Amino acid sequence: MSVRIFGHYVSLPLVLLMLVEAAMHVGAVYFARTLRFLDIHFLIYPSGEWLPRALLYSLVMLGVMTAFGLYGTALHKRDREYQVRFLASYPAGALLMVIVFYVIPTSFLGRGILALSFLFSLILTVLARVVFFRIVGGDTLKRRVLVLGSGSRAAEVEGLLSRLGSRAGFHLVGFVLCGDEQPGRDKSKLLGDCNALRSLVAQHRIDEIVVGVRDRRNGHFPMSKLLECKLEGTSIVDLPTFFERETGHVQLNSLSASWMVFSEGFSKTGFQRLLKRAFDISVSGAMLVATLPVMLAAALAIWLETGRPILYRQKRVGESGQVFEIFKFRSMRVDAEKDGVARWAKKNDDRITRVGKFVRLTRVDELPQLINVMRGDMSFVGPRPERPPFVHELSRKVPFYASRHSVKPGITGWAQVRYPYGASVDDAVQKLQFDLYYVKNHSLFLDLVILLQTAQVVLFGQGAR
């Protein structure tokens, strides 16, 4: 079950968990203050002056836990990695709180209160997640979905359910025959034909109908039946929108130009551009100052290992197809492309130097692109810019590839945090689906979500090559 926040689909159970844990973090500060001074009167009649401190503490903890991947796919895992991330988020939160206290002295909680706050937060969030796993693990909060159609397109819903497993936000009740379509591979889920659509919805307590019919012009499409179901409260959604919501990407093989024209999104207002530019300048400026020592150290390490040049300049394709020069720390040998032929980076690429391997793994090689953002060539968040030869090749082979150039490219993006490093045409196709999702739904809210998830990619070295 999902809700849209500024155009971006967010899991409703996830939102509820975040709200509950946010309240628990606030409550932990009040419990800690009460216990530290043995003042039960404070808990019964809480002081308003402590609320800003408690809210700031809660905001920091939610940000750290998001950066550690505890509100993403790892949420559905009970393995050792999830447990390590969960426990490690608390020392990281403590370190960040110390920095916050230094920057905002009035937010200081006191060592005793801070220690007790973390203890209470840990206990309360563990209890919340035990309950959450029990509820989400079943079908209690999942939508009951009926697919209109039984052909190859409709069968993709079944394939999606198999891939997502317990992470799926829906329960596939079955399929309904429509017109002369042939049933898909699983005939056991065939419930009947579209003439009985209304009664099937009532009989199986359907929450949503997914329209998976390819041809809607042969007179067999049950528009009147769908309208009846719609008026009785059943949600109706087409296949591209369903996949967009459930996967966080726009599915290319069910995409059409008409869907892009008539669907919500793909908007660029003057206010959005102004807000985006202000966000880019403020974030990039702050990061330039904060990472200056790191960049100086990286430059020195590259110079000591392989000499000059330290920065690598390369032509990339930006907004509206305009070519610009991107800046990166050089991570490959000077003669990596001495023949002048552009090549995809490979896994364990022997052209990468020892220092280059480290700066790629930690994403330090991307930091000089902050200059590109300040210059206006790039945005902080957006589709990754590709080299002109690759763009030319991909535009011929991949439908709608040029659509990703309708916004400025970014240092990080939705495809970078949701898909591993891409180094082939097939990878580019997969990443394009995430890029189109960003182009369609981009907002300041989605940019902030991507920034927090980028921290997870950097911290745990996901997708580096």
pLDDT of residue 20: 93
Query: pLDDT higher for 278 or 261?
Result: 278
Looking at the structure, tell me whether residues 352 and 277 fall in a common domain. Answer: yes
Residue 278 to residue 19: CA distance in whole angstroms: 28
pTM of the model: 0.81
Calculate mean pLDDT across residues 202-214. Answer: 88
DSSP 8-state symbol, 106: G
| Residue among 355, 375, 367, 363 at smallest CA distance from 421 | 363
Residue 347 banded pLDDT, cuts 50, 70, 90: low
Lowest mean per-residue pLDDT among 52-61, 102-111, 308-317, 455-464: 455-464
Residues 288, 401 within the same domain: yes
**Strands 2-5 and 8-11, sheet pairing:** antiparallel
Distance of CA 175 to the CA centre of its chain: 30
- Higher-confidence position of 257 and 32: 32
Boundary (domain end) residue, out of 75, 104, 136: 136
Please check whether residue 85 is in contact with residue 74, taking contact to mean a CB–CB distance below 8 angstroms.
yes
Residue 106 lies in a domain: yes
Segment (H or E) for 410: strand 410-412
The confidence score (pLDDT) of residue 289 equals: 92
The answer to whether 360 touches 354, Cβ cutoff 8 Å, is: no
- Per-residue confidence band for 222, with pLDDT thresholds at 50, 70 and 90: confident
In sequence order, the 6+-apart residues with CB closer than 8 A to the CB of 349 are 332, 465
Of the listed ranges 140-144, 148-152, 336-340, 351-355, the least confidently predicted one is 336-340
Q: Are 427 and 445 within one domain?
A: yes
Give yes or no for residue 217 having a pLDDT over 90: no
Instruction: Tell me the backbone φ, ψ of residue 72, rounded to 5 degrees.
Output: -125, -145
- The domain boundary, picked from 86, 113, 136, lies at 136
d(CA 448, CA 454): 10
Instruction: Identify the residue with better confidence: 360 or 209.
Output: 209
- The chain-wide mean pLDDT, for the chain, equals 84
* pLDDT band, very low/low/confident/very high, at 124 (cuts 50, 70, 90): very high
Read off the pLDDT of residues 396-428 as tens digits, 9 standing for 90 and up: 888 888 889 999 999 999 988 887 766 677 788
26/122 same-domain check: yes
Residue 262 domain flag: no
Q: Would residue 108 count as lying in a domain?
A: yes
Q: Is residue 87 part of a domain?
A: yes
Say which range, 88-97, 118-127, 301-310, 332-341, has the weakest mean pLDDT: 332-341
Question: Is there a single domain that holds both residue 231 and residue 96?
Answer: no
The reply to whether 377 and 415 lie within a common domain is: yes
Binned at pLDDT 50, 70 and 90, residue 326 comes out as very high
Q: Are residues 113 and 164 in the same domain?
A: no
- Does residue 69 lie in a domain region? yes
Interhelix angle 51-67/80-103, nearest 10 degrees: 140
- Residue 308: CB atoms within 10 A of its CB come to 9
For residue 453, pLDDT over 90 is answered with no
The share of the chain scoring above pLDDT 70, in percent, equals 87
The verdict on 214 and 327 lying in the same domain is no
Buried b (16+ CB within 10 A) or exposed e, 93-106: bbeebeebbeeeee
Q: Per-residue pLDDT for 336 more than 70? A: no
Confidence of residue 236 (pLDDT cuts 50, 70, 90): very high
Is pLDDT larger for residue 350 or for residue 113? 113
Residue 173 has pLDDT above 80, yes or no: yes
Domain edge (last residue) among 136, 158, 183? 136
The verdict on 206 and 283 lying in the same domain is: no
The arithmetic mean of pLDDT across residues 177-196, rounded, is 75
Residues 158, 211: Cα–Cα separation, whole Å? 13
Query: Which CATH number does the domain housing residue 176 bear?
Result: 3.40.50.720
Half-sphere exposure of 205 (CA within 13 A, CB side): 4
Which bin fits 278, alpha (ψ -120 to 50), beta or left (φ > 0)?
A: alpha
Asked if residue 217 is part of any domain, the answer here is yes
Its domain, for residue 81, covers: 2-136
- Please give the average per-residue pLDDT across 28-47, as a whole number: 80
Q: Is residue 26 part of a domain?
A: yes
Q: Are residues 10 and 47 in the same domain?
A: yes
Residue type, 25: H
Residue 166 to residue 386: CA distance in whole angstroms = 35
pLDDT confidence of residue 4: 82
pLDDT at 221 exceeding the cut of 70:
yes
Tell me which H or E stretch contains 237. strand 235-238
Q: How many domains does the chain have?
A: 3
pLDDT category of residue 74 using cuts at 50, 70 and 90: very low
Indicate if 434 and 300 belong to the same structural domain.
yes
Q: Residue 151's pLDDT is what? A: 75
Plot region of 410 (φ>0 → left; ψ -120 to 50 → alpha; else → beta): beta
* 93 domain residue, yes or no: yes
Euclidean distance between CA atoms 55 and 25, whole angstroms: 8
Residues 305 and 422 grouped into a single domain: yes
CB 435 within 8 A of CB 400: no
> Which tops the pLDDT comparison, 344 or 360?
360
